[in-house]
Structure 1
Amino acid sequence: MFAAYVTVTVLASVFTAIAAATYLIGHDYPKAQLDMKRLPHSWMPMLGTFLALGSVGLLVGFAVPLLGILASVGLVLYFVLALVAHLRVGSRKLVGWGVFFVTVVAAVVVNLAHHG
Structure 2
Amino acid sequence: MFTAYAAVTVLTIAANAFEAVANFARARFVLANAAEVGVPTSWLPMLGALKGAGAAGLLLGLLGLRFVGTAAAAGLVLFFVGAVAAHVRARVFYNIAFPGAFLALAAASLVLTQAVTH
Query: Which of the five TM-score ranges fits, normalised by the shorter chain?
Result: over 0.9
- 2:12 — aligned with what? 12
Using the alignment, how far apart are the partners of 2:41 and 2:2 within structure 1?
40
Partner of 2:100: 98
- Using the alignment, how far apart are the partners of 1:39 and 1:70 within structure 2? 25
Q: Deviations over 1:39-61 (max 9, x none)?
A: 21000000000000000000001
Segments of structure 2 that go 5 or more residues without pairing to the other structure are none
What is the SS of the residue equivalent to 1:61?
Answer: helix
User: Hey, what's the Cα distance between the residues in 1 that align with 2:78 and 2:57?
Assistant: 14
Q: Counterpart in 2 of 1:27? A: 27
1:59-116 alpha-carbon deviations (Å, 9 max, x no partner): 0012211000000000000000001111111111211122111111110110010012
1:112 counterpart = 2:114: yes
**Residue type of the alignment partner of 1:48:** G
Identity %: 34
Give the whole-Å Cα distance in 2 for the aligned partners of 1:50 and 1:34. Answer: 16
Comparing 74-83 and 98-107, the one that deviates more: 98-107
Aligned length: 116
Letter in 1 for 2:34: L
2:40 equivalent in structure 1:
40
TM-score, scaled to structure 2 = 0.95
Distance in 1 between residues matched to 2:72 and 2:99, nearest whole Å: 18
Letter in 2 for 1:95: A
**Structure 1 consecutive aligned stretches of length 4 or more whose deviation exceeds 6 Å:** none
Question: TM-score, with normalisation over the residues of structure 1?
Answer: 0.96
- Structure 1: which amino acid aligns with 2:89? R
Report if aligned partners of 2:84, 2:100 keep a CA contact under 8 Å in 1: no
Unaligned runs of 5+ in 1: none
